[in-house]
Structure 1
Amino acid sequence: MTSFLPRALGSVAFAAALACTLPGAQAQVPAPATATLPSIASFFSSSPISNAKLSPDARYLAARSGAPGRRDALVVVDLQTNSGKVVASYNDADIGDFQWISSERLLFNTREKGVGVGNTRYAPGLYAVNRDGERFVELADRTGHGATHGTRSTRKILPWHTFMLDQEGAQDSEYVYVTSANLDTAGEVRSVDLLRLNTLTGATQPVPRPAGNVRGWELDHKGEPRLAMTLERDTITLHYREPSNNAWRVLASFPAFDDGSKALEPIGFAPDGNLFVRARSGGRDTTSVHLLDTATGKINPEPVLVTAGYDFDGSLVSNRDKVLGVRFRTDAVSNEWFDPGMQQVQASLDKLLPATINVVSVPAQPESPWVLVWSYSDAMPGTYSLYNTQTKLLNKIADVRPKINPAQMGRQQFVRYKARDGLEIPALLTLPPGTKRTGLPMVVLVHGGPWVRGASWGWNPYSQFLASRGYVVLEPEFRGSLGFGIKHFKAGFKQWGLAMQNDIADGVRWAAGKGIADANRVCIAGASYGGYATLMGLVNDPDLYKCGVNWVGVTDINLLYNNGWNFSSDMSDEFRAYGMPERVGDRVKDAAQLKATSPIQQASRITQPVLLAYGGVDQRVPINHGTQFRDAVMKTNKHVEWVEYPEEGHSWSLAKTHVDFWGRVERFLDKHIGAGAAQ
């Protein structure tokens, strides 16, 4: 991981076929580093190829392909003939997600890449097409006002709230399972049905569901419905469907919003019918992979896989015969193989590509010699390749961001430092390119959530953009972050603006103490919870931060409970009732603490320059969070910059928004802690 060596092995004919078929997918050779900084657009523009997938027999490769000024299309390449074809494209929509139904047929939906959330006109819809572009059928409505594309079946089309299931099914016929959401009068999902759909006729058959509000489904190794997850008040229940008679029975039940110590998270089924789950056992602080006996409901206390120091975060890698291994995340995303043959494949790939992490996907049919390889590093956004396990040839398909020159990117490392109370805080540290490694200006980038895992080792547009402009970037996994054990998670309960905030400040002092960062040139930045932490950092530690950048950030915890009659939020009623009082604070019992840790209530204490950016149709953190804080802080602080993107939601979806926002960030940082700042 210390250097980048691009490689492209394999037949010239194959590379030529992909170059002709996939716009912008030619093999890219990084140019020498120059003094010219990479453009903002190069970090945030759409990739020419994404979401590549092998067909079940691995004869075909499907991918989403695009080019500047053109809609994303669905492309299928025949790997035997080195020929490709666009099998689906639209003038008013982009291809969204897709999956192989069989080696002959694909299911896909659409998206509007060039339209912000506020101007979205259509639902994703649902469509199916053969790999040669024939037998194209519209299956689920996109507009609610009649057919827009393709051939409809003779029966009534499925409603707009019919969606793809994010799991591979049997992949051996024209049938597939899809979900249909049941919405209440407020438009919130109350339960989810599962339908067996014929993608040639549009005919559906509902899967009988267990009692309760089903929120999720799990298919077994053969692609049949085997598990349903219900949520009732604050309890999740796993229901198992007996293969012999399709009757449902309760397999396990656990609290939905507690510390997670009793949770059982399904990962996938083994061919023998038993269930791989993520669970804590044997007094371990972190979760591991275990096997659950579906006949008895008991978990084997001996773990199948332990990721030391991390909660298991991953999925199974299987073919039709067996579970081969897992794809999982520790400091980075990689594979772990149970199968000796795949262990050898991984070793061969890592020898061919020694400067990258090489993540392997396998086709459904075990006799196929092809595997799909995703290679990445901290400085390289990623490359798709095909590897033939028989001939040992590696064929490069495309770089996902060909305009990024790895030589101009920063280098990243996973570090750990001690908080003031002794808790160990994991973090990512990205250093800018160049020779100087000490006394640099620094941006502390705080992740959202906060109950999520932040970024893992690898190329990230936010941190690499900032590093390209000369800033050290520190991304702390403060207490409350997921992925590092139950102790780390629980330590963040009711600590918004308190110990969670101290963990971030202690990271700044650690970096300054190591000589990495200039203690006099530090800015704090983040989105959502990270925006909240930005503002509270300016409140709590005015001597530490010279400025702050908050986008779509929470500005008052009480506003999360009640946004007012004119502002809607997509936060669930269950989480407000059972999760927030436990994790954030009770509005009555903890009223004094919520006031002391409210950026709006403490706005007069913020004297540093601050950049605020909000989406006009954000339903996670509605814009009144931003406007109320802006009005409060501007009463006493004249160094406030404000921007609203009327068509954006909780994250920026438009390339033009990214370019405008990060251009503002660049100028703001330069003025206050960069080369343009008064030294």
Structure 2
Amino acid sequence: MKSLWLAAVAACIVTPAHAAPPPASAFGRVPAVVDAAISPNGQRVAILGGTSEQRVISIATIDQPGLPILQLGEVEATRLRWAGDDNVIASIAFWHNAGPKQFYRIERHVTVTPQAKAIARFFENATTSQYLVGGQPIVGVTSGSPARVLVNDLAEGMGSDSMNTRMKRKGLENASVRAIWSIDPATGKGRIVERGDYDTVSWDVDLSGEARVRVDVDELTHKAAFYARAKGKSQWAQFWTQTSGGPEPHMLGYSEPEDAVYFEREGKLLRRRLADGVEEAVSDGGPSMGLIWDVHRNGVAGIATGAEKSAVQWLDPEVGAAHGVLSRAFKGRQVTLAGWSADRTRFMARVSSPAAPGGWYLYDRARKEVSPLGEEYPELKDATFGTTRWMTYKARDGLEIPAYVTRPPGAAPDARLPLIVLPHGGPAARDDYDFDYLAQFLATRGYVVLQPQFRGSAGFGDAFQEAGRGEWGGKVQTDLLDGVAALAAAGEIDASRVCIVGASFGGYSALSGVALHPDAYRCAASIAGIGDLGQFLSEEARLYGRASAGFEDLRGQLGASDGNKILAMSPARQVGAIKAPILLIHGDKDTVVLPSQSQLMADRLKAAGKPHELVMLADENHYLTRTATRTQALESIERFLAKNLPLN
């Protein structure tokens, strides 16, 4: 493995500029490195990457020649993790065809050896698992030898258990329940070691495989409850249940060294000891708070918070010291530790920034060496990107809205350039201090890009997120317009030349922008966006059931008790007001927002005689995980903007 001395790293991260921007295909390629994981003994690194047409898992053997490679083919592979030093667990997603235009994305796990040989699929001896739509969450890996993998999956129902009489009244006494399976990675066979009831959704486990924390969501009321079981105890004890009012905690995980559970409540990080139930404050928290875990000790290593970018309060000074070395070496970039060896001699990191595509590195602490493992966008290695800054502005009701603003490479500071508003998906999500292929693609085409973290975004506190409830077509949209006004007042953009582009909820915002504020934007491009909220609710009900917690939460987010409001917030119902041309892009295998949403929008626009274009991406899902179709989407957007938002 080729190494770089730490002193030379800074010289390696400066790249020359090219006059012409890279082609759409360079941005549209699916990252060449999706994930990487280091073995507990630090001797091997497994790397998941390749092209979307040929995903591969390679095993980099440190200080030894050879690079075993397993070719996976044209599949969606999502994550790697080690189970001991002898097995890599690869998570693979595929599509299940349940009928005409009915597709389900299913994720399963495969065991790969250090020689890059696939040897087993999980649940080889179970039949219930085949009925689980979606994924099989891995909740832990035991520390014993051989290691076993703990997976949250299905088990047969509990029949006449008296604690489930209310479920019997609904006729569900024979339904499947969640259970923890202990899987032998060498064979893929498993056994049930913990069975939940009909309300159980998840667990946290210790390194022996014993469940320590359990989360239940009542099937009838949709209220959550947390249970704990201290070491040495056999019975579960409830320590919190959701009520109609009051602050609700967010479970963050179980820490084994302290035999305690971490959770966030009212912006504070709290720790509750399981043995005596004592709660204590660990930190005042902050924006986008999250914990960094040491998987070898099953404990908390650090607390990450930050608005513009993540800052870490390291509780483990040894891990923190390694992060500090890398942060100084890659100054100006975000360094994220993606894992380390059990003895803390080797650390793996992902390094990126808004103007630097992600790169993966191995740090050998004893040798003081950094070794490159791979680049996510190798075709962009020598490109010049736009410059990104963090700003805040006031919404018209006084709420402070944060945002990222990216100006094109080489743009004069006083140039009033055309603007692309790029709202994120979710809406309970946020943009990060990271490389955004779509934002930089637009910036390299000569546009200023505004990414507002509008009300309803996650990571800025419960009150800020709650402020977006029922405001999808209301204050969320005016938050975007207030960002445009702030940039115009600062003289950074030409307010008469503004388009809006977005994916998923961002696609809904693009359509809402031109439908509800027809004079605000020159054009709109929606990728996998929602056109009709009423139809969206009906589709969710058909897929997941009207009694599901997810459906109930969506109704609350939309304010669905008011039918007139739903109609007023639905772009497909307001096409008569639209003046701007619209580009609709949708994957034909999207199971999150069905392609019928864009088709309906196109039909309504056509009937109203409004300019539009519909691009259906063949064999593509909600997240655009294929290089060819992602590139097709970017090329369509580039042509659309060149026509409707010219630079001059």
TM-score, normalised on structure 2?
A: 0.87
2:50 to 38, 54, 66: 66
2:103 & 2:580 partners in 1: Cα distance? 37
Partner of 2:327: 350
Q: Does the alignment pair 1:240 with 2:228?
A: yes
Q: Does the alignment pair 1:299 with 2:279?
A: yes
1:572 & 1:468 partners in 2: Cα distance? 45
Q: CA deviation at 1:101?
A: 0.5
Shift of the 476–93 alpha-carbon distance from structure 1 to 2, 3 Å rule, reads closer
- Larger deviation, residues 75-84 vs 48-57: 75-84
Q: Does the alignment pair 1:363 with 2:340?
A: yes
Letter in 1 for 2:268: S
Given that residues 118 and 649 in structure 1 are in contact (C-alpha distance below 8 angstroms), is that contact kept between their aligned partners in structure 2? no
Letter in 2 for 1:61: V
Letter in 1 for 2:329: L
Shift of the 403–333 alpha-carbon distance from structure 1 to 2, 3 Å rule, reads farther
Partner of 1:661: 633
1:321 & 1:37 partners in 2: Cα distance? 45
Given that residues 27 and 441 in structure 2 are in contact (C-alpha distance below 8 angstroms), is that contact kept between their aligned partners in structure 1? yes
Given that residues 335 and 360 in structure 1 are in contact (C-alpha distance below 8 angstroms), is that contact kept between their aligned partners in structure 2? no
Partner of 1:284: none
Partner of 2:571: 599
Q: Deviations over 1:542-563 (max 9, x none)?
A: 2221111112222222222213
Given that residues 510 and 526 in structure 2 are in contact (C-alpha distance below 8 angstroms), is that contact kept between their aligned partners in structure 1? yes
RMSD: 3.4
Given that residues 512 and 519 in structure 1 are in contact (C-alpha distance below 8 angstroms), is that contact kept between their aligned partners in structure 2? yes
Partner of 2:121: 138
2:52 & 2:117 partners in 1: Cα distance? 27
Letter in 1 for 2:38: L
Q: CA deviation at 1:663?
A: 0.8
Partner of 2:178: 192
Q: CA deviation at 1:405?
A: 3.5
Equivalent positions of 1:417-566 (< 5 A) are 417-437=393-413, 438-450=415-427, 452-563=428-539
Partner of 1:278: 264
Shift of the 108–118 alpha-carbon distance from structure 1 to 2, 3 Å rule, reads farther
2:206 to 198, 220, 224: 220
2:185 & 2:463 partners in 1: Cα distance? 47
Q: CA deviation at 1:575?
A: 3.9
Q: Does the alignment pair 1:250 with 2:245?
A: no
Shift of the 618–46 alpha-carbon distance from structure 1 to 2, 3 Å rule, reads closer
Partner of 2:365: 389
- Larger deviation, residues 165-174 vs 602-611: 165-174
Q: CA deviation at 1:217?
A: 1.9
Q: Deviations over 1:200-256 (max 9, x none)?
A: 34442212334332212212355532222121132111222343243323232226x
Q: CA deviation at 1:318?
A: 5.2
Give secondary structure in 2 for the equivalent of 1:291. Answer: strand
- Larger deviation, residues 394-403 vs 88-97: 88-97
Q: CA deviation at 1:635?
A: 3.1
Give secondary structure in 2 for the equivalent of 1:664. Answer: helix
Q: Does the alignment pair 1:127 with 2:135?
A: no
1:247 & 1:338 partners in 2: Cα distance? 31
1:666 & 1:107 partners in 2: Cα distance? 39
1:421 & 1:502 partners in 2: Cα distance? 10
Q: Deviations over 1:134-166 (max 9, x none)?
A: 79233346xxxxxxxxxxxxx568844675534
Q: CA deviation at 1:322?
A: 5.4
2:246 & 2:28 partners in 1: Cα distance? 35
1:44 & 1:182 partners in 2: Cα distance? 41
Given that residues 423 and 451 in structure 2 are in contact (C-alpha distance below 8 angstroms), is that contact kept between their aligned partners in structure 1? yes
Q: CA deviation at 1:8?
A: 6.4
Give secondary structure in 1 for the equivalent of 2:361. Answer: strand
1:190 & 1:421 partners in 2: Cα distance? 48
Letter in 1 for 2:436: N
Shift of the 49–528 alpha-carbon distance from structure 1 to 2, 3 Å rule, reads closer
Given that residues 278 and 288 in structure 1 are in contact (C-alpha distance below 8 angstroms), is that contact kept between their aligned partners in structure 2? yes
Letter in 2 for 1:106: V
TM-score, normalised on structure 1?
A: 0.83
2:252 & 2:111 partners in 1: Cα distance? 29
Shift of the 29–413 alpha-carbon distance from structure 1 to 2, 3 Å rule, reads closer
Q: CA deviation at 1:441?
A: 0.7
Give secondary structure in 1 for the equivalent of 2:368. Answer: coil
Given that residues 445 and 530 in structure 1 are in contact (C-alpha distance below 8 angstroms), is that contact kept between their aligned partners in structure 2? yes
Given that residues 319 and 362 in structure 1 are in contact (C-alpha distance below 8 angstroms), is that contact kept between their aligned partners in structure 2? no
Q: Deviations over 1:622-678 (max 9, x none)?
A: 233223322222333431112223533333232221111111111111111123xxx
2:246 & 2:385 partners in 1: Cα distance? 38
Shift of the 634–207 alpha-carbon distance from structure 1 to 2, 3 Å rule, reads same
Given that residues 492 and 499 in structure 1 are in contact (C-alpha distance below 8 angstroms), is that contact kept between their aligned partners in structure 2? yes
Shift of the 429–62 alpha-carbon distance from structure 1 to 2, 3 Å rule, reads same
Shift of the 443–571 alpha-carbon distance from structure 1 to 2, 3 Å rule, reads farther
Partner of 1:81: 64
1:182 & 1:496 partners in 2: Cα distance? 38
Q: CA deviation at 1:511?
A: 1.0
Q: CA deviation at 1:10?
A: 4.1
Q: CA deviation at 1:54?
A: 0.9
Q: CA deviation at 1:434?
A: 0.8
Identity %: 24
2:262 & 2:105 partners in 1: Cα distance? 37
Give secondary structure in 2 for the equivalent of 1:644. Answer: strand
2:87 to 96, 99, 105: 105
Given that residues 169 and 224 in structure 1 are in contact (C-alpha distance below 8 angstroms), is that contact kept between their aligned partners in structure 2? no
Q: CA deviation at 1:171?
A: 4.2
Letter in 1 for 2:283: L
Equivalent positions of 1:129-168 (< 5 A) are 129-133=112-116, 136-140=119-123, 159-160=129-130, 165-168=137-140
Give secondary structure in 2 for the equivalent of 1:563. Answer: helix
Shift of the 349–82 alpha-carbon distance from structure 1 to 2, 3 Å rule, reads farther
Number of aligned residue pairs: 620
